[in-house]
Amino acid sequence: MLGPFDDKVSRFLEGTCVFCQPWWLEAVAPGQWDVAVVYRGSDVAAVLPYTYKVRLGRFRLIEMPLFTPYLGPWLRNSIAKYANRLGEEKDLLTELIDKLPPFASFAQGFHPLVTNWLPFFWQGFKQTTHYTYSIDDTIDLNAAWDETRENIRTDIRKAEKTVTVTDEPNIERFLEIQRMTFCRQGKPLPYTEDALYRLEAACAERNSRRMLFAVDAENQVHAAIYLVWDDKVVYYLMGGGDPALRNSGATSLLMWRAIEFASAQKKRFDFEGSMVESIERFIRAFGARQVPYFYVYKMNSPVVGAYRLFWRRAHRRA
Who has greater pLDDT, 195 or 187? Answer: 195
Read off the pLDDT band of 307 (50, 70, 90).
Answer: low
Average pLDDT, the chain: 92
What pLDDT sits at residue 293? Answer: 97
Neighbours of 161 (CB within 10 A): 8
Cβ-in-10-Å burial (0-12, 13-18, 19+) of 26 comes to: middle
Residues 6+ apart with CB under 8 A from 89: 75, 116, 119
Amino acid type, 278: S
Q: pLDDT digits over 19-58, tens only?
A: 999 999 999 999 999 999 999 999 999 999 999 999 887 8
Percent of the chain with pLDDT over 70: 93
Find the helix or strand (DSSP H, E) in which 303 lies.
Answer: helix 302-317
Selected residue with higher pLDDT from 304 and 174:
174
Q: Within a 10 A sphere around the Cβ of 17, how many other Cβ atoms?
A: 26
Burial of residue 77 (number of CB atoms within 10 Å: 0-12, 13-18, 19+): exposed
pLDDT in tens, 198-251: 999 999 999 999 999 999 999 999 999 999 999 999 999 999 999 999 899 999
Residue 273 CB neighbour total at 10 angstroms: 23
What is the set of domains in the chain, with CATH numbers?
A: 7-131+292-317 (3.40.630.30), 139-266 (3.40.630.30)
pLDDT of residue 1: 47
Q: What are the start-end ranges of the H helices in 117-249? A: 118-122, 141-147, 150-160, 171-184, 193-205
Q: What is the mean pLDDT of residues 175-199?
A: 94
Pairing of strands 289-299, 74-75: unpaired
Bridge partners (DSSP) listed for residue 117: none
Residue 4 has pLDDT above 70, yes or no: no
pLDDT given at position 305: 53
Given a cut of 70, is residue 99 above it in pLDDT?
yes
Q: What is the mean pLDDT of residues 79-102?
A: 96
What amino acid occupies position 239? G
Q: Do residues 46 and 76 touch, judged by C-beta distance below 8 A?
A: yes
- pTM for the predicted model, two decimal places: 0.91
258 — alpha (psi -120 to 50), left (phi > 0) or beta? Answer: alpha
What is the reported pLDDT for 288? 94
Name the residue among 288, 239, 305 with its Cα closest to residue 112: 288
Mean pLDDT of 114-126: 97
CA dihedral over 95, 100, 102, 105, signed as positive or negative: negative
